[in-house]
Amino acid sequence: MRTMTILIERDEATARNRLRGGVLRAGRTHRYQGEVRSFESPAALFRIFSPARWTLIERLQELGPVSLRGLARSVGRDVKSVHRDVKVLVEEGLIERDEAGRVYVPFDRIHAEFEMARAAA
């Protein structure tokens, strides 16, 4: 099973340390594994995961590998805008292309974790 964990952290090292800490603290009840993608802020996260792009990811998980035209048809959008969004998601490593050029989400599970805490006084 391939898993992507999405975190909002200031830097990648912090995200990896937090992820390792989660594995050690959580033990058998909740296990983090797989690839980690961290963002420095909610704004940075939402530049990549717009509602339209999130819909594409959800639909691809339902459909499996599909052509851009088929994906656009399934979400009721034009091919050009879907192509633009898929290009961003491919560059970010959230969508891949198979040998036939179809797009798909390579992850069986996508886990997102965000934490907001009050600043120290």
Neighbouring residues of 97: CB distance < 8 A, sequence distance ≥ 6: 90, 103, 104
Hey, what amino acid is at 47? R
Tell me how many domains the chain contains: 1
CATH number of domain containing 83:
1.10.10.10
What's the pLDDT tens digit per position in 38-83? Answer: 899 889 999 999 999 999 999 999 999 999 999 999 999 999 999 9
> For residue 8, what are the domain limits?
3-113
Q: Which stretch of 10-19, 29-38, 39-48 has the lowest confidence by average pLDDT?
A: 10-19
pTM for this entry: 0.76
Beta carbons of 59 and 95 less than 8 angstroms apart: no
